[in-house]
Structure 1
């Protein structure tokens, strides 16, 4: 998952995780508190770096308000330019605007996602409406839009160089999509809706975080059956840190929940942990999100109605690869029957094992992971915990660097501790350089562990992106995970799924580092395409080169046995029914919610009835139930776009077969060159469909996806 910087979201309707208080003033001279570290220039090596070690929640409100005022001053300078609009004095000036706010937003993002606190959440709630006002003041600035339109209209008659034309087209389209052509009355209502939504998004996110922090399951020593020693040690440390010495804590996050449900022999406790996790935001209390979601849906529909669209999905997908909700639905509906059919087979296998063991149960959702692991061991003689002994986080990090070196010619060198400020002791930093020339590319920050105040999941973001329109900038990129921190002296061991996610998020970082675009707007992503590059990088985890060099036993240092590797590969399509169905259920609900009439909508009822219509298996849940579906309701980045992971996976599977069939396989030099040239470096400087055709020589086909998942390939496409 990507979190974008403020610069990239400015013209995209709603700023994620953001808000404000009173209208920023636009005097000619704006007083700036030079003692506020968040407003100071980034100094030090590597073109300057954020002063993460000095940031304070106390400074964030003033810094954001000052940043907004300075940004609006930049906009005033553009609209009050007496010269006729040109690409340079309008579009380039807009690209360069808001630099201070963009820097401040880096700190805001860390305080929101990595280091949240009750004090910050209060400020975040106060700031939310104001950032919305600020965003509207730009997107609905009539004089600004008329200058943009003048440049756009002129470019339709006399096209600009390709990258400049792309910037103009994207800028004009985003202003148009955000109401720039509306009359004054509709613009006013459009801005009011955005303001209301910004507060609702903040409330939604904080409610989920509350439930993640406050629903902790504590175990006694006699309740640890089936759990590994490393997991037990970590759970003991977490409990001690929470003031429950002598107990064992299962936190309400996926990284803690997932292994517990997979291995715990305590069925009642599995049910309790499962219910805690899947009920986040849905507990009927002050932190319940159902009414918030209903209001979000109503406001979204009203807002796009002002623009003449029938529903939010129709508006959102017009500039995506899918183009229409119908195209996105067609892909999901093509895969769904095979996915739920596979679930039926998986459940039958699990029930057979439960019956043979005399367990006297019917498989329930809190049993799925536990009995799936039993089936895996029986069918493939493959024990996930045995595999984990060879998945050491430090060695996996080395594997990331090896892959980046082979494909991108990058070298990662640890930065001396203290040379670059970090916001937590867990964070480590590496310098990225070109292996041959030694040219500096940027810095990579890694924040791997779960902790209080850090949102769940895994994501990538940038603190500074590459551009060259004002001189080359380096890239400051970060990857963020939620691995359970081990007890002192213990290795960080992760599951195969977590290792895959680690590669996935690193794929986003490589996408950032490889950018060769001139203008900031061209770093923006097309949501159903931008996950493709990261999903593709997952495939290198299972290459022989990575397996043979980096999958070693964390205690003995012995390489993973060839027999175990063979079992892993044979089991590659195992449990695809579960993985595909839990994901697709969330994607389908996302789309169907935004196609439905939100008047008097009951969110719980809609979710329940829609899943029943889809014949959703009773034995597993959606990956993200609606009340905690942060991708869709903590902002708008993935709203009606969660299908994009599967859209991108069609590209991924198809591209993987191109590497598989190349003379040098996944490390083929010619294929790697095309990978960087067409799929990574251009970012959004060309149409994604055209970029893929330049790489592959044709459009992607769904057959490869079906083969990857072990699903039947429809006769018409064979």
Structure 2
């Protein structure tokens, strides 16, 4: 069988041939690619030549091309269009890739060669020395220096963690996919037309009549904001926060406990006191204490603001004749009413001005003005009919291919993320990135424009900020390409790019009415921007609580009962009654679907300290599009990837590191007591 996964994909774009790729290609493609990759490793490790960067590190960077193609395509397809067959394949992939990675890490001859190159790094150029250092540290931190029973146990732990992460993700997806709440005609009372239309489209997608609420954020959040039916809000909210917390085959609580225990054991095998100490060592924060200091500096003013808001919302609820305490399913409803009253701002009034296509244009236009990029749609087979692709150029030079997949659907992983189907590098010519943005916006009825909330538009800009990190990457080695940076630095470009959504001249140009084409009225624009920090106490509390629970889980001994530990942490913090964690343990995919954000959910806030200060550099220069500041941002951060330590890159751009004050001011919490 000819396998398109293993072909050399056609220039100039080199996109995967999705129109020829079938599920039947994945398993044999993985086997063939693993065989080739193993042969490459054996050749490098078995070389009779003295180890050098060119005969050890460079071939490691250049190798496993076929394996990279197979893995990137498969996980993109599995995340955006899951099926039972693909879920079964995902478990098989996890086991085989874990075994392969353990083989590579356990290859003593290979590690000895890497160590020899690292020891001689003073003779290397700056980029080569950095790559050699990262290889040495990655191998060491993965257990390459372990021997005997410890080495065997580390292999077992990593294999089990890979499988548990896959199971956690699939359980969460199953709960999100399977729950629906049908709405009778009377249940639609009080809902804006855009919510009714989204509920109708969700029913149609599932082959159902009428209207339904699903656990897609783009539907459930506006339902909680606008439905006057308190009983239905409670039912929907409790289903949303209970994902992964049901007795039965999709229960993630036991998985979370086992993951935490295995992580602790892994860290101690490597000589660390805790998993948090291990995980944070290569990050900007370095220590759990530094993370806790940041989070607690924000917690106190955020909690004070949230508690003051809760008093106002409770009074509003009581005026409606509802007695008892304000509950979590009440907050968004009364907060939306308050926003309309205090800011004269109604999301139903805003949405027609925030069309998906115009917000994509806005994100592209900002990148054109800042970095000289141009965007043109291309017709190419993609993983799903909803996806779209563009070529990105600077002058005549192809900079990247960008793929956007924006709509929610059954079988698609929730949330929003940026990925790549190919990394930028210059190992054998100018290889440019193929970068993806995946979102879960509500899909409109056929023939209607897709309308976003302001938060949705912010998400679009956030993910495109990540994409720019790939698009503008200009390094030689894949190891340090694009977003291959410290976890608490990776969110800087994405969160920084969100600021351009709030630049008035951007909104005046692109926030135009879906029916009339008229620009957003000046008074509505002013009201929207004035409300930018509205309800920030709530948003900050739900986020910081999640980050502190994540840190506590990993900072000491692993809890036997994570749910009990979660409750203890929240009680100690004095968590406001009507606010829940943004991500409770059973659906905390950032932390339990893999190691990416474990002990690292704080990263968004660590990066926010920098993004507030970084945008201030443009303000100080007198323009959000100041060309000199944009050139410095590209040179020192967006094009540099992981070529140097993150704090060094930031200092090169800004001249110093910022304090937490800019973050508090940006969130409107600087005056909270």
Task: Please classify the TM superposition score into its range, dividing by the shorter chain length.
Answer: over 0.9
Residue 207 (structure 2) aligns with: 243
Q: What stretches of structure 1 of length at least 5 have no aligned partner?
A: 1-32
**Aligned to 2:404, what secondary structure does the other structure show?**
strand
The 5 A counterparts of 1:222-301 are: 222-245=186-209, 247-301=210-264
**Aligned to 1:460, what secondary structure does the other structure show?**
strand
**Aligned to 1:666, what secondary structure does the other structure show?**
coil
How many angstroms apart in 2 are the aligned matches of 1:140 and 1:256?
Answer: 47
The 5 A counterparts of 1:212-611 are: 212-245=176-209, 247-415=210-378, 417=379, 420-434=380-394, 437-523=395-481, 524-598=484-558, 601-611=560-570
How many angstroms apart in 2 are the aligned matches of 1:572 and 1:520?
Answer: 38
CA distances 1:155-177 after superposition (whole Å, capped 9, x unpaired): 2xx34111111101111111110
Residue 42 (structure 1) aligns with: 9
8 Å contact 2:77–2:383 — kept in the other structure? Answer: no
**Aligned to 1:481, what secondary structure does the other structure show?**
strand
How far residue 266 of structure 1 moved from its aligned partner, in angstroms, is: 1.1
How far residue 340 of structure 1 moved from its aligned partner, in angstroms, is: 0.9
How many angstroms apart in 2 are the aligned matches of 1:282 and 1:346?
Answer: 29
How far residue 359 of structure 1 moved from its aligned partner, in angstroms, is: 3.6
8 Å contact 1:350–1:374 — kept in the other structure? Answer: no
How many angstroms apart in 1 are the aligned matches of 2:23 and 2:236?
Answer: 33
How many angstroms apart in 1 are the aligned matches of 2:509 and 2:376?
Answer: 19
Give the TM-score normalised by structure 2: 0.98
How many angstroms apart in 2 are the aligned matches of 1:526 and 1:554?
Answer: 40
How far residue 446 of structure 1 moved from its aligned partner, in angstroms, is: 0.8
Indicate the larger mover: 81-90 or 518-527: 518-527
Residue 649 (structure 1) aligns with: 608
How far residue 361 of structure 1 moved from its aligned partner, in angstroms, is: 4.8
How many angstroms apart in 2 are the aligned matches of 1:164 and 1:88?
Answer: 10
In the comparison of the two structures, how many residue pairs are matched? 671
8 Å contact 1:261–1:369 — kept in the other structure? Answer: yes
The 5 A counterparts of 1:611-650 are: 611-650=570-609
RMSD, aligned CA: 1.4
Residue 208 (structure 1) aligns with: 172
How many angstroms apart in 2 are the aligned matches of 1:593 and 1:433?
Answer: 45
How many angstroms apart in 1 are the aligned matches of 2:569 and 2:243?
Answer: 20
CA distances 1:363-383 after superposition (whole Å, capped 9, x unpaired): 110011111111111111111
How many angstroms apart in 2 are the aligned matches of 1:305 and 1:635?
Answer: 19
**Aligned to 1:217, what secondary structure does the other structure show?**
strand
How many angstroms apart in 2 are the aligned matches of 1:714 and 1:573?
Answer: 13
How far residue 55 of structure 1 moved from its aligned partner, in angstroms, is: 1.8
Partner of residue 90 from structure 2, selected from 120, 124, 142: 124
CA distances 1:447-483 after superposition (whole Å, capped 9, x unpaired): 1111121100011111111111211102211111101
How many angstroms apart in 2 are the aligned matches of 1:207 and 1:544?
Answer: 43
How far residue 360 of structure 1 moved from its aligned partner, in angstroms, is: 3.5
Indicate the larger mover: 225-234 or 104-113: 225-234
8 Å contact 1:353–1:371 — kept in the other structure? Answer: yes
**Aligned to 2:195, what secondary structure does the other structure show?**
helix
Partner of residue 50 from structure 2, selected from 55, 77, 84: 84
How many angstroms apart in 1 are the aligned matches of 2:240 and 2:429?
Answer: 47
How many angstroms apart in 2 are the aligned matches of 1:586 and 1:411?
Answer: 39
How many angstroms apart in 2 are the aligned matches of 1:714 and 1:174?
Answer: 42
How many angstroms apart in 2 are the aligned matches of 1:396 and 1:389?
Answer: 12
Q: What stretches of structure 2 of length at least 5 have no aligned partner?
A: none
How many angstroms apart in 2 are the aligned matches of 1:608 and 1:188?
Answer: 36
How far residue 235 of structure 1 moved from its aligned partner, in angstroms, is: 1.4
CA distances 1:265-292 after superposition (whole Å, capped 9, x unpaired): 1111111110111000001222110011
CA distances 1:382-429 after superposition (whole Å, capped 9, x unpaired): 1122111210001101101110101111000111x3xx2111111111
